[in-house]
């Protein structure tokens, strides 16, 4: 008998129809109505789509593209798909906290904001807005040397002592005088840790930017001016606030200052930077000290031997050396080289909470996000940054709960498996884990 056919009661009567809705209002009870779809993004990709619409093409080419073929940038993202997470059932103990410690500071989730240059191009609040968003989410921001708000402005405008990223620039008396001035400024106003970037001896060949007018100097055409004018809100804020220059190098706003500061940035890059310079900086900086841009385990060992408190596994988001290794691929060997001597952070390609979990399984203390928080900033300023961080928090919590992991401290290679093939990473010899996925 068809399960859809109504049954007949013993007395021959049909069943009562009282359980059926008698009116349209009853049938729709409990539903929520909107005149349009809720515009609030629910993922990092959603914020990326909104940011793309909010920014002119010239600015978007700077935010969302990499160097040359962009293989390194794509590789960062693709590396995460080569791993799967394990799941254990009926543990009954979801994680109670996502707190962790980075650079001697407690943060509410293992995600920090990476240093990004000229962030004011995406939203006039720039690095100050990003730091506000980080604070609201209970984490920290790493301020770039090439920020559109100065070291002092961000320190004065925030509650927390954030972190500072140093490009080891040459000064009038050589590299050390230029670096010393920036380090002293950061230390004087309370930045609690120093991150020295070592993967920019020269600026990478960012062809996408150059083709869209973001070279040095930027090139405006009628079509590009029209495109900017179409983005009314961005153009209004650009004209009103003019937060587009590197304020740590030139305390002026506007397009002319932006061009001059970019030229200064390029001129100050130093391909002669070496390990003796890192040792000198380590001795001069009194707090936690990190070397950013490490991809090889031998470089990680040298950094730790010189007294670094940690390293950042980074290829500059695919904006420097094209064809470099994906950061997630480099992570296991670097983490093994550092061991218990210090912390290992990772950036590049992190878009999901599950990405964060995979990085922690492979030895990262925490991750840094760059483009994701810029997407949020471009859409909604500091609130957008906080929203992106909260998306990461929810996704990390959900992923750990579904995996059956009670605590971040329990994560390790045994919770990962290759995307193809049986077994977990813990089943493989250490040498195989170092080269996965090959």
Query: What is the pLDDT at residue 380?
Result: 97
Q: Residues 392, 334: contact at Cβ < 8 Å?
A: no
Q: Which residues are annotated as a binding site for glyoxylate?
A: 62, 167, 206, 316, 319
Q: Reduced to 3 states, what is the DSSP secondary structure of residue 369?
A: strand
Query: What is the pLDDT at residue 4?
Result: 47
Query: What is the pLDDT at residue 91?
Result: 87
Cβ neighbours around 92 below 10 Å, total: 7
Give this prediction's pTM. 0.89
Q: Taken in order 395, 396, 397, 403, is the CA torsion positive or negative?
A: positive
Angle at 69 between CA 68 and CA 71, to 5 degrees: 120
CATH code for the part of the protein at 44-433: 3.20.20.70
Q: Rounded CA gap, 399 and 359, in Å? A: 13
CA distances for 3 relative to 6, 7, 59, 228, 393, angstroms: 8, 9, 60, 62, 45
Q: Which residues are annotated as a binding site for FMN?
A: 115-117, 144, 165, 197, 292, 314, 347-351, 370-371
Question: Over its length of 438 residues, how does the chain's per-residue pLDDT go in tens digits?
Answer: 454 444 545 555 555 555 555 576 677 777 777 777 768 999 999 999 999 999 999 999 999 999 999 999 999 999 999 999 999 999 888 899 999 999 999 999 999 999 999 999 999 999 999 999 999 999 999 999 999 999 999 999 999 999 999 998 765 566 677 899 999 999 999 999 999 999 999 888 999 888 888 887 888 899 999 999 999 999 999 999 999 999 998 887 778 888 887 777 777 788 888 999 999 999 999 999 999 999 999 999 999 999 999 999 999 999 999 999 999 999 999 999 999 999 999 999 999 999 999 999 999 999 999 999 999 999 999 999 999 999 999 999 999 999 999 999 999 999 999 998 766 666 554 544 554 544
- Domain limits of the chain? 44-433
What is the set of active-site residues? 316
Query: Both tokens of residue 277?
Result: 């310079």
Measure CA of the first residue to CA of the last residue in the chain; give whole Å: 57
Long-range contact set of residues 429-436: C-beta below 8 Å, sequence gap at least 24: 430/336, 433/332, 434/332, 434/333, 434/336, 436/82, 436/329, 436/332
């Amino acid at each position: 008998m068809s399960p859809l056919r109504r049954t007949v009661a013993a007395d021959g009567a049909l069943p009562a129809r009282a359980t059926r809705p008698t009116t349209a209002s009853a049938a729709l009870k409990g539903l929520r109505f909107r005149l349009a779809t809720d515009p609030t993004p629910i993922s990092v990709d959603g914020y990326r789509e909104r940011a793309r619409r909010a920014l002119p093409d010239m600015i978007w080419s700077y935010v969302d593209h990499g160097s040359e073929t962009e293989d390194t940038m794509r590789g960062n993202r693709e590396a995460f798909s080569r791993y799967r997470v394990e799941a254990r059932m009926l543990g009954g103990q979801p994680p109670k906290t996502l707190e962790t410690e980075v650079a001697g500071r407690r943060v509410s989730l293992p995600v920090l904001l990476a240093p990004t240059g000229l962030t004011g191009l995406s939203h006039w609040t720039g690095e100050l807005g990003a730091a506000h968003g980080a604070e609201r989410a209970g984490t920290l921001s790493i301020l770039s040397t090439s920020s559109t708000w100065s070291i002092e402005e961000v320190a004065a405008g925030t509650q927390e002592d954030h972190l500072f990223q140093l490009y080891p620039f040459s000064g009038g008396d050589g590299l050390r005088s230029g670096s010393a001035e920036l380090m002293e400024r950061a230390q004087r106003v309370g930045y609690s840790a120093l991150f020295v970037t070592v993967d920019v001896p020269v600026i990478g060949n960012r062809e996408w930017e150059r083709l869209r007018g973001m070279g040095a100097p930027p090139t405006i055409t009628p079509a590009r001016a029209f495109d900017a004018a179409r983005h009314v809100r961005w153009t209004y804020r650009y004209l009103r606030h003019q937060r587009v220059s590197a304020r740590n190098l030139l305390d002026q706003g506007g397009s002319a200052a932006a061009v001059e500061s970019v030229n200064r940035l390029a001129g100050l890059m130093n391909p002669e930077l070496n390990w003796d310079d890192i040792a000198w900086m380590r001795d001069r900086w009194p707090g936690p000290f990190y070397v950013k841009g490490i991809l090889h385990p031998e470089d990680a060992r040298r950094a730790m031997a010189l007294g670094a408190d940690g390293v950042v596994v980074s290829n500059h988001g695919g904006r420097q050396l094209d064809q470099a290794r994906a950061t997630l691929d480099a992570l296991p060997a670097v983490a093994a080289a550092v061991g218990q001597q210090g912390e290992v952070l990772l950036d590049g390609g992190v878009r999901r909470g599950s990405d964060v979990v995979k990085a922690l399984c492979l030895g990262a203390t925490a991750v840094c996000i760059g483009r994701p928080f810029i997407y949020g900033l471009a859409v909604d300023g500091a609130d957008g940054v906080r929203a992106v961080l909260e998306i990461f928090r929810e996704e990390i919590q959900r992923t750990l709960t579904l995996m059956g992991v009670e605590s971040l401290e329990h994560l390790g290679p045994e919770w990962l498996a290759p995307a193809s093939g049986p077994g977990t990473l813990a089943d493989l010899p250490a040498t195989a884990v170092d080269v996965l996925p090959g």
